[in-house]
Amino acid sequence: MLTEGTGDAGSTGAEPSHIPVMRDRITELLGPALREPGAVVVDGTLGLGGHAEALLAAHPGLRLVGVDRDTTALERSRARLAPFAPRVDFAHAEYDAIPAVLDGLGISGVQGVLLDLGVSSPQLDEAERGFAYARDAPLDMRMDRTQHRTAADVVNTYTAAELARVLREYGEERFAGRIAAAIVKERSAAPLDSTRRLAELVRDAIPAATRRTGGNPAKRTFQGLRIEVNAELAILERTLPAAIGALAVGGRIAVLSYHSLEDRITKRALAALATDTTPPGLPVPLPDAQPELRLLTRGAEVPPEQENERNPRAASARLRAAERVREGA
């Protein structure tokens, strides 16, 4: 969800300094489904509202439902989208709650869904949020600051085996066991509560030869902890079928991922519903086995090089999109 640049980090104004990742391409992909007056699009990860602003500006008859778990993001997007206020509904919720949000608004089907995954630039840039390893801050990492569990809770209460699993599965960290053991040893003296202290601990636990390449050695550990704290992958696995189920026939979904774990889940979910499941050997395709989705992207699309130069945080983005062509069984 690296949708905005660093210039907005300390502002609650409506004018961020960078445009959202792949804004024009997303607007293009969702556009055919949003042209008719009264169309509804759900931005399930509203952030600062950059994608939402572009969609609302492109389609004067469009209604947008903006969902985000981060209350600060909702406040900022509300300011940014003020010119479109009569056409926007805001909801503080995780994106797997899209069906419940729509039900509460009396909406039975939508023409578009956008999911821009991961952590947003303001969350990274505001040190007190505890997402960044480059500056010292409390070990927090909560996207929704109304929830209780923080990264400090994870590093100070999980067993070594549980920590190693989190770092290996969610951070894709080769040295998960070594780092987990170092954390457990360190916290026996005093609780770990600082991002800088954790980053230094990770650096010291990784072999020196490995530290010389691949960027900050704490990057994968922080990713793993963030995903665990916010249950990101579990929520995404629940969200995709729910979001697709909310689409009317002809509706479209676009998903921006920022690491291979998110992209793999998205690819699997879209591909499963874009496949004819008629058993082999039957003379004709079964109507109920026909695909529900038509893929709109060949594999995962990436940002153009000019965008990566303007916003280096966009470089890891992967975009997949699909159109609903049939009601589910």
Cα dihedral sign for 157, 159, 165, 168? positive
In degrees and rounded to multiples of 5, residue 45 shows phi and psi of -135, 70
Three-state SS at 211: helix
Three-state SS at 194: strand
Q: Do 123 and 133 meet the contact criterion of CB atoms below 8 Å apart?
A: no
Distinct helix (H) and strand (E) counts, the chain: 14, 7
DSSP sequence for 51-103: HHHHHHHH-TT-EEEEEES-HHHHHHHHHHTGGGGGGEEEEES-GGGHHHHHH
- Rounded distance between C-alpha atoms, residue 115 and residue 95, angstroms: 8
Three-state SS at 111: strand
Feature table: binding site for S-adenosyl-L-methionine:
49-51, 68, 95, 116, 123
What residues are paired with 43 via a beta bridge? 66, 114
Where does residue 204 fall: left (phi above 0), alpha (psi -120 to 50 degrees), or beta otherwise? alpha
Feature table: binding site:
49-51, 68, 95, 116, 123
Reading the block at residue 232, the tokens are 């990101």
